[in-house]
């Protein structure tokens, strides 16, 4: 194993982490802010990729295709939200139903093909696997703008209403907030970001695929949890909303660096999904184990003993 091979792969890992970090911000919106388990993202990521590739192949510019991908993601999120709020379908099942429907929709978008190539040399793209450093700069700029807009938006009256809906739906309803509307808006914005990320990813890798979103929710959760654990370890109670958003993207970068290390160690690629599940499980367990240790009877007993000894 050559360490230089690992180092040379790091820029590519960072580029992928930044692109998936945008998707993770969408997952953060539903999972952490809204407290909604949305599985639509596995389908809406592929929708963003399919829309972007097909529109670029039809002569659209790359930025315009990404705007259309964002709009397509918004429609997917709206559909999930309406299934949940109007028809009373549970949140997880609503996402599963849309994810299933989007599989067929994405196939139709790509003309029945399971994947569609996007020749990098023939089109002017925003990001590309061939140009890693410019890609990092472009996506980093997009991330900064996106986080700034999210920070502003969730400080507005509507953004605060969405946060209140996720924190305490019953109290929010009692205060006159239309929590169903807030859920629909949040789901639409979340899936819009996810589809936007899918559009960037399809440009970066040079194709869209019907299965490119499979397991996206796990990667998004991994980024959110990794970022939260590390952010809390570094900042504790000083970690405000904008720092939390930054660490979501940082978590995605760390995740892809970890994947790069796994590949560098020449571990079987068939086990990547298992490694992902283990990483997520470990980071999910850290806050629980930490709280359990801080609130344990044993620690309380030790505190009591230390107080008693100091008194004597």
CATH of the domain at 239: 1.10.3470
Is 308 contained in some domain?
no
Of 204, 81, 224, residue with least CA distance to 142: 204
304 belongs to a structural domain: no
Task: Note whether residue 35 is domain-resident.
Answer: yes
Q: Specify whether the CB–CB gap between 50 and 106 falls below 8 A.
A: yes
Pick from 123, 311, 112: nearest CA to 206 = 123
Burial of 173 (0-12, 13-18, 19+ CB in 10 A): middle
- Structural domain contains residue 97: yes
Indicate whether 310 belongs to any domain: no
Domain extent for 64: 3-294
User: Residue 298, SS3?
Assistant: helix
Flag whether 301 is in a domain: no
pLDDT of residue 298: 52
pLDDT, tens digit, 9 for 90 and up, residues 249-289: 999 999 888 888 877 877 777 777 777 778 778 777 777 77
2-30 burial, b for 16+ CB within 10 Å, e for fewer? eeeebeebeebbbbbbbbbbbbbbbbbbb
Judge whether residue 170 has pLDDT over 70.
Answer: yes
Q: Let me know if residue 140 belongs to a domain.
A: yes
Helix ranges (H only) for 110-178 are 132-153, 157-167, 169-174
CA pair distance 199, 219, nearest whole angstrom: 17
Q: How far is CA 45 from the centre of its chain?
A: 10
Instruction: Report residue 56 as tokens.
Output: 């670029």
Q: Dump strand ranges (E) for 192-265.
A: 207-209
pLDDT band of 200, cuts 50, 70, 90: very high
Q: Is residue 260 part of a domain?
A: yes
Secondary structure (3-state) at 116: strand
Least confident range from 48-62, 83-97, 172-186, 281-295: namely 281-295
Which whole number is the average pLDDT over 201-223? 91
Number of domains within the chain: 1
pLDDT at 68: 97
Query: What pTM was estimated for this model as a whole?
Result: 0.90
Q: What is the pLDDT of residue 137?
A: 96
């Amino acid at each position: 194993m050559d360490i230089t091979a690992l180092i040379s792969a790091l820029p590519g890992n960072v580029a992928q982490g930044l692109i998936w970090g945008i998707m993770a911000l969408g997952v953060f919106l539903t999972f952490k802010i809204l407290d909604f388990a949305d599985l639509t993202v596995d389908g809406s990521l592929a929708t963003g990729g399919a829309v972007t590739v097909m529109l670029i192949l039809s002569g659209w510019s790359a930025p315009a295709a990404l705007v259309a991908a964002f709009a397509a993601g918004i429609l997917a999120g709206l559909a999930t939200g309406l299934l949940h709020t109007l028809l009373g379908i549970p949140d997880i099942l609503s996402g599963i139903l849309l994810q299933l429907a989007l599989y067929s929709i994405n196939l139709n978008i790509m003309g029945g093909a399971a994947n569609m190539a996007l020749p990098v040399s023939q089109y002017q793209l925003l990001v590309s696997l061939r140009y890693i450093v410019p890609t990092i700069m472009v996506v980093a700029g997009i991330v900064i703008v996106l986080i700034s807009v999210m920070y502003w938006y969730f400080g507005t009256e509507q953004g605060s209403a969405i946060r209140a809906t996720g924190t305490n739906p019953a109290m929010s309803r009692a205060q006159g907030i239309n929590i169903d509307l807030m859920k629909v808006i949040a789901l639409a914005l979340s899936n819009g970001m996810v589809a936007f990320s899918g559009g960037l990813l399809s440009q970066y890798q040079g194709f869209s695929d019907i299965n490119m979103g499979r397991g996206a929710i796990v990667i998004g959760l991994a980024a959110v949890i990794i970022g939260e654990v590390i952010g809390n370890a570094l900042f504790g109670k000083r970690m405000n909303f904008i720092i939390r958003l930054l660490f979501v993207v940082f978590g995605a970068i760390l995740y892809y660096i970890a994947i790069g290390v796994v590949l560098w160690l020449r571990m079987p690629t068939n086990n990547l999904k298992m490694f992902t599940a283990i990483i997520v499980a470990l980071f999910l367990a850290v806050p629980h184990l930490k709280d359990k240790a801080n609130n344990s009877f044993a620690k309380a007993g030790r505190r009591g003993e230390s107080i008693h000894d100091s008194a004597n």
